[in-house]
Chains A and B, each alone.
Chain A
Amino acid sequence: MSKDNKILEEFTKSDYKYGFESNIESDSAPKGLNEDIIRFISSKKEEPAWLLEWRLKAYHHWLTMVEPRWPNVKFPAINYQDIIYYAAPKQKAKPKSLDEVDPELLDTFKKLGISLEEQKRLTGVAVDAVLDSVSVATTFKEKLADLGIIFCSFSEAVHKHPELVKKYMGSVVPISDNYFAALNSAVFSDGSFCYIPKGVRCPMELSTYFRINAANTGQFERTLIIAEEGSYVSYLEGCTAPMRDENQLHAAVVELYAAKDAEIKYSTVQNWYPGDREGRGGIYNFVTKRGICAGERSKISWTQVETGSAITWKYPSCILKGDHSVGEFYSVAVTNNRQQADTGTKMIHLGKNTRSRIVSKGVSAGRSQNSYRGLVRVAKRADNARNFSQCDSLLMGDQCGAHTFPYIESDNKTAQIEHEATTSKIGEDQIFYCNQRGIADEDAIALIVNGYCKEVLNQLPMEFAVEAQKLLALTLEGSVG
């Protein structure tokens, strides 16, 4: 057996470190999906009639649709009637400060190394913590409010800023967009809402930690970020989930809206339970993320580090509508064991002189399948559109797969589109070289993988980059005995 294979064999023995389940009582809906369930969710959340109508419309549209079968992933049919569509941690009243938050909940965060106090004190990050669909603690709100920034749970926004929600919700990802977006629109539980007023530069990274908790609960987050003219915001999303036997469906929708001269930076570190070595359990992560650069010179930048989930189906995209607008996508996707990832982006060039940049780094190990799927489309009036794409694949061992599906559609002769792709393996030579300098196998692999992903990791905000590097190292920890 070659050294590579030995290392990989050990690699597959490392267990998911975030596997625990916290005992917080859930207030759940019965299993299944029908109009009554949607009414139940809507009434639980004390929603206005227009929103219930919107949900029902999405539900009826969803009924006419079929699951997408084009992604390069395989999984048994999902029984949508066997899923609980709503679960909320029971709490007597909305907490005003961390002192009022369920101590067990706070403990859960501590186990993950995400102490809210620490976050507040050390990093200046305002955290909107989402545990099983209901926002539990929102911090720094007052400081942000002084600048006119709204950062709250989606439900709160529905009540306090209905005009904004009504105007933008579904404007980037319409209810009919795709199967999972329609499902989300019908049953979404909660999520984050963020509004940056004209000319305001958000002084801190806005951060949400998602966590799937109650058994058999689908998680249907919905996030909406609106950046008004000349504003700037950097938003962080980080995820871990407890160990679980049955597959869990996660179908989130994220919508970004950037007005003239606005910039949104959206960073994700995703580490949901990937299933065991044989692929049992694990999260199905079917997410629709899209941003629109509506105004001139606006910019949207997606950065993602995806290490978790049994199946990932995710294409954070940019619609470059405003002239001179810029879209970016930086991605690291790591798959191991039986994980399957079909991820990439879409860059839709509509405006003149629009630019986009795609940097995708896939790492496959074990028996996993890792696909990059990307679309670059240049519309007729998008004169002088530019795109640069780089898609690299790193293979570990000989039982995994790496695939690249680049789609290019150009209707304008002035477009310049570049695509570069490489496939490489971690070489025994590289590992031996590290060994010879005193670096053990697992640290060597972490070093090499981090180096390979550097261009993407560099895009993350400082604290997040450190976390992501640790995560890559952690994923690889225990890989060698």
Chain B
Amino acid sequence: MLTIKNLKARVEDKEILKGINLEVRAGEIHAIMGPNGSGKSTLASVLAGREDFEVTEGSVEFLGNDLLDMAPEDRAREGVFLAFQYPVEIPGVSTTNFLKTALNQIRQHRGQDPLDAVSFLKLMKEKMKLVEIDQSLINRSLNEGFSGGEKKRNEIFQLAMLEPKLAILDETDSGLDIDALRIVANGVNKLKTKDNATIVVTHYQRLLEYIIPDYVHVLYNGRIVKSGTKELALELEEKGYDWIKDTTATTV
């Protein structure tokens, strides 16, 4: 589904991604871990198409298309979803209204008719139940005055509504208490099918107790320095990131 080859990216003069290679197939969950400043969020942003980063080398293929060649909205319409680490507030626009606009633009892209109000509401009810989100929250202005946990739950609700092929969760666990974490993780698990894939970007192993990854990659200093199965996450938790830093230092 997603093939990243030797991806390099920089912001201004600073190179942040220094040659990422990653292959994600349908039905898989990948966790990308790493210490602060290792380039985790940059990778998520580059995949979503944020213009702050300049891709200098490498390629990203998504479902047979050149992802880097697409505008951010086209990536989204083709099925790339980014759950933001810091979702922005849009005053005066309810989550409902926002999602209706988004969903219908995605449908239009796929040559489908816009969803009528009744079907849309029905879909919303269904997904609200799935991710355990309250009606009052989605009637409010998007993310305005939301707590950290509410924002993250709203991201997962949007994920449920838009049904992307590839979901990238950028530090979705940060700022969540244990109950919110469980709800968010449950939502992600319920949405998993054999046809979609998830990339979980996280600093801590904690989230991976609830979302069980097929693969774990450790990102350090702009490169994936270690890949493995979920056991790698446990090992990291135990030994800390210094262990990775030390091992890479010796191998270089």
Contacts and interface: CB of A to CB of B under 8 A. Distances in A.
Interface string B80-98: 0110100110111100011
A451 B91 contact: yes
A441 B101 CA distance: 12
Contacts of B81: 436
Interface in A439-465: 439-441, 443, 447-448, 450-455
Contact of B73 (A428, A438, A448): A438
Contact of B98 (A3, A427, A440, A447): A447
A434 B103 CA distance: 11
Contact of B51 (A3, A430, A437, A438): A3
Contacts of A454: 92-93
A428 B52 CA distance: 10
Nearest to A454: B92
**A-side interface size class:** 20 to 34
Contacts of A437: 76, 98-99, 102, 158, 162
A433 interface: yes
A451 B93 contact: yes
A47 B128 CA distance: 67
Interface string B143-162: 00000000000000010001
Contacts of A451: 90-93, 141
B71 interface: yes
B90 A436 contact: no
A435 B101 contact: no
A185 B48 CA distance: 61
Interface in B146-193: 158, 162
A432 interface: yes
A452 B144 CA distance: 12
Contacts of A434: 73, 90, 98, 102
B72 A436 contact: yes
A433 B155 CA distance: 11
A441 B71 CA distance: 10
Given A432-B50, A437-B158, A443 B105 contact: yes
Contact of A440 (B90, B92, B93, B105): B105
A326 B65 CA distance: 61
Given A433-B84, A433-B87, A438 B92 contact: no
A146 interface: no
A443 B114 CA distance: 15
A278 interface: no
B106 interface: yes
A181 B81 CA distance: 57
Given A3-B51, A443-B105, A447-B98, A436 B82 contact: yes
A439 B93 CA distance: 14
Given A3-B51, A427-B88, A436 B76 contact: yes
A432 B92 contact: no
With most chain B CB atoms within 10 A of its CB, the pick from A3, A437, A455 is: A437
B3 to A, nearest CB: 21
A429 interface: yes
B49 interface: yes
A361 to B, nearest CB: 10
B109 interface: yes
A435 B93 contact: no
B90 A435 contact: no
Contacts of B90: 430, 433-434, 447-448, 451
B165 to A, nearest CB: 13
B77 interface: yes
B152 to A, nearest CB: 14
B93 A447 contact: yes
B93 A438 contact: no
Contacts of A455: 92
B88 A448 contact: no
18 contacts: A3-B51, A429-B88, A430-B90, A432-B50, A434-B73, A434-B98, A435-B71, A436-B48, A436-B49, A436-B75, A436-B84, A437-B158, A438-B77, A438-B103, A439-B73, A448-B90, A450-B92, A451-B93
Closest 8 CB pairs of A and B: A451-B92, A451-B93, A454-B92, A435-B72, A437-B102, A438-B76, A438-B106, A435-B73
